[in-house]
Amino acid sequence: MTWHGRVDLRRSPEEANNLPEVALLPCLAPLLVRLNAPESAFFTVKCDVWLLDEIDPFEFDAEPGTAAQGLACYIDLLPHIPEDWPDHETTATWCDRLCTTLRSAPALRCCRTDMVIRRAVRDILQPAIGITAYLAACGSTETLARTNLGVALTAFVDAIVARGTRTG
């Protein structure tokens, strides 16, 4: 998969620190490196980070005073072996199990994760299925929102690495 601006973090993990998204959310660099590590069942394709304009405390399981500032990111994720996510149903089951794992994580608060299953293109001849994971967090300050998003991203990556692909 090649296009202008894409960085292959599996081949060049040191480049994670140079991504513009990492300048906005430094904790993202080591997490992207983990997702793209040689032993990982996945690789990332794109990501982005942005400030949230509006926050509904209810959607973030947050008290109204703790939802003044927000930060979000997305990560596009594909399995290294396309057959691990052969169809929508298998991928949806994987996402459901991941959500169950995340719901049981005690440290997660003032955050949310949404996953969208997408068609993807590995190359011209090989269609695939991937997910776009949207993670967002809030806090009474931007610093707390960043901290909460870092905790959510870490839990997300830990769960993905532990779960693996289809059979995980």
Q: Give the model's pLDDT for residue 33.
A: 95
pLDDT digits (tens, 9 = 90+) for 43-79: 998 999 999 998 999 999 898 888 999 999 999 999 9
121-149 tens-digit pLDDT: 776 667 789 999 999 999 999 999 999 99
Q: What DSSP element (H or E) covers 46? A: strand 42-51
The set of residues, in sequence order, having a beta carbon less than 8 Å from that of 137 and lying 6+ positions away, is: 60, 70, 71, 72, 110, 111, 112, 145, 146, 148, 149, 151, 152
- 113: its two tokens: 């994760």
Q: Is the pLDDT of residue 165 over 80?
A: no
Domains of the chain are 13-163 (3.30.1960)
> Once rounded to an integer, what is the mean pLDDT over residues 159-167?
72
pLDDT for 155 beyond 70: yes
